Amino acid sequence: MTRQCYYVPFSILLCLINLEKALKAREYKVSYVTVGELLKSLGYSLQVNRKTDEGSSGADRDRQFEYIDETVLSFMKLNEPVISIDCKKKEPIGNYKNAGNECEFQKNAPRVKVYDFVDKELGKAIPYGVYDIAQNQGWVSVGISSDTAEFAVNTIKTWWQQMGKGHYPNAQKLLITADGGGSNSSKSRLWKKELQTFATHTGIEISVCHFPPGTSKWNKIEHRLFSFITKNWRAKPLISLEVEVNLIANTTTQKGLRVNAKEDKKQYEKGKKITDEEMENIHLIQSDFRGECNYKISPKCTIYFLTEPNTEYCKIISPDLLGNNTKCTMTDKAHGRSNTQSIMNLCHNCIFQH
* Domain ranges across the chain: 10-41, 61-297, 303-353
Number of residues written out for the chain = 354
Residue 218: its pLDDT value, please?
92
Q: Where are the beta strands (DSSP E) in the chain?
A: 82-87, 91-92, 124-132, 137-143, 173-178, 205-210, 258-264, 284-286, 294-297, 303-306, 312-314, 327-332, 337-342, 350-353
Q: Who has greater pLDDT, 3 or 207? A: 207
Read off the pLDDT band of 15 (50, 70, 90): confident
91 — phi, psi (to 5°)?
Answer: -120, 130
Q: Is the pLDDT of residue 232 over 70?
A: yes
| pLDDT given for residue 6 in this prediction | 54
- pLDDT value of residue 277: 94
- Would you say residue 347 has pLDDT above 80? no
Look at residue 317 and tell me whether its pLDDT is greater than 60: no
* Average pLDDT rounded to a whole number, residues 339-344: 38
Give me the mean pLDDT over the 217-235 stretch.
Answer: 94
pLDDT higher than 50, residue 27: yes
pLDDT of residue 243: 95
Cα distances (Å, whole numbers) of residue 188 to 86, 131, 147, 281, 292: 15, 21, 13, 15, 11
What one-character DSSP code corresponds to residue 239? Answer: -
Percent of the chain with pLDDT over 90: 59
Mean of per-residue pLDDT scores for the chain: 83
Do residues 140 and 259 touch, judged by C-beta distance below 8 A?
A: yes
Q: What is the pLDDT of residue 36?
A: 87
Instruction: List 297's β-bridge partners, or say none.
Output: 206, 284
58 vs 122 pLDDT, higher one: 122
CATH class of the domain defined by 61-297: alpha beta
pTM of the model: 0.75
The pLDDT of residue 58:
64
d(CA 245, CA 253): 17
pLDDT for position 309:
44
> 32-41, 205-214, 249-258: which range is least confident on average?
32-41
Nearest in space to 308 (alpha carbons), one of 268, 341, 284: 341
Give the span between the Cα atoms of 146 and 156, in whole angstroms: 16
Report whether 86 contacts 103 (CB < 8 A). no
pLDDT, position 322: 46
Report d(CA 178, CA 223) in Å as an integer. Answer: 14
pLDDT of residue 321: 47
Q: Which residues pair with 131 in a beta bridge?
A: 84, 138
Residue 3 has what pLDDT? 55
Tell me the pLDDT band of 214, cut-offs 50, 70 and 90.
confident
Could you tell me which residue, 298 or 301, shows the higher pLDDT? 298
The pLDDT of 69-90, averaged and rounded, is 96
SS3 38: helix
Looking at residue 60, what is its pLDDT?
85
Question: For residues 286 and 59, which has the higher predicted lDDT (pLDDT)?
Answer: 286
191: DSSP letter: H
Helix (H, G, I), strand (E, B) or coil at 240: coil
Residue 8, pLDDT score: 63
Name the percent of the chain lying above pLDDT 70.
81
Q: Chain centroid to CA 235: how far?
A: 23
Instruction: Tell whether the torsion through CA atoms of 105, 108, 112 and 114 is positive or negative.
Output: positive
